[in-house]
Homo-oligomer: A and B are copies of this chain.
Amino acid sequence: MRIHIQNPPPPADGSPDPFIITAAQVEQAAARGGETEAHTLSFGNDAASFAAGIADAEAVVTTPGQILGRFPVAAPRLRMIFCTSAGLDRLLPFDWLPPGVALLNNRGVHSAKVGEYSLMALLMLAARVPAYATQQRAGVWKPFFTPILRGRRLLVVGTGDLGAAGAREARRYGMHVTGVRARPAPHPDFDAILGTDALDAALADTEFLLLACPLTPATRNILDRRRLGLLPAGAGLINVGRGALLDQDALCDLLEAGRLSGAVLDVTVPEPLPPDARLWRTPNLLVTPHVAADNPETYNVDSLDIFFANLRAARAGEAMPNLVDPGRGY
């Protein structure tokens, strides 16, 4: 098979980028997967090498940023685009996708890391760490004594790999976890699953809210000002999905008013945040720079295992587990 790897360009400052895929990593993944079909690799990290590689590639492994705006392109043999991100919202709508080409995302690669991050953020909100960080800026020592997680309530919007990973960790510590998704169905990692039509009612009973769904036209601003206002006083919020899932200014207003007790955001609008962004200065809010889900030690290894598993499924005539549904956007 002709496989083209379109990497991001190396960092301008010369620092190593653990997410750049190497030929050795591809060969090792092929060996782990027991690949018997020969493959020919090409690599690129700019427009010229993309054009050269895509010209005869059957499969492309890339990030969304490296193909954004590069279609249509002459790619007569292309059958599959594997993106090493879970969220492909930057590529929406998928009207650029050539007919007959399968688009795959990288769901499944983030579970362990985002599970630990979500648990960390829950523990931080429960213990009021964002408030302590705000007090620290002012040199204020003021304790808040808080209980453990057991018995407390978490609402997770999005029950895919990210949301389920957070739910598992929360239940490990005795929390009661409700998931919200567009098409409700029982899920082993949740105590209850609700449809999006029940979101308003669920918010009023939520102590902790974890946003972990894909960004699509249906979920953009799903936590708008009105819905954020439904959260009870003292609730805490975590976002590991996409910044545009919520109304950031409304969140800042609620935090400044002391209505919400804290927030931990790994994703924001825009990214990176500019130095004068309101989020940096909002009390009881901690920002991490989009690092919640990516383990540099395992990312490429696991991503390539997922890629080859999908290749094998396609070859066997089975459904590819990471196939994106262009209609729903993930």
Which residues from chain A sit less than 8 Å from chain B, CB to CB?
A: 18-19, 112-113, 116-117, 119-120, 123-124, 126-127, 129, 132-133, 135-150, 173, 271-277, 280, 286-291, 294-298
Secondary structure of the A side of the interface? loop
**A120 proximity list for chain B (CB < 8 A):** 120, 123-124, 127, 129
Q: Which of B19, B119, B127, B150 contacts A117 (CB 8 A)?
A: B127
A321 to chain B, nearest CB (A): 23
A19 to chain B, nearest CB (A): 8
**A173 proximity list for chain B (CB < 8 A):** 116
Contact B149 A116 (CB under 8 A): yes
Contact A127 B291 (CB under 8 A): yes
Which one of A18, A116, A144, A276 has the highest number of Cβ atoms from chain B below 10 Å of its Cβ? A116
Question: Which residue on chain B has the smallest CB distance to residue A143?
Answer: B289
Which one of A18, A126, A141, A272 has the highest number of Cβ atoms from chain B below 10 Å of its Cβ? A141
Contact B297 A141 (CB under 8 A): no
What's the Cα separation between A146 and B299 when bound, in Å?
A: 11
Q: Which of B123, B146, B277 contacts A119 (CB 8 A)?
A: B123
**A273 proximity list for chain B (CB < 8 A):** 139, 141
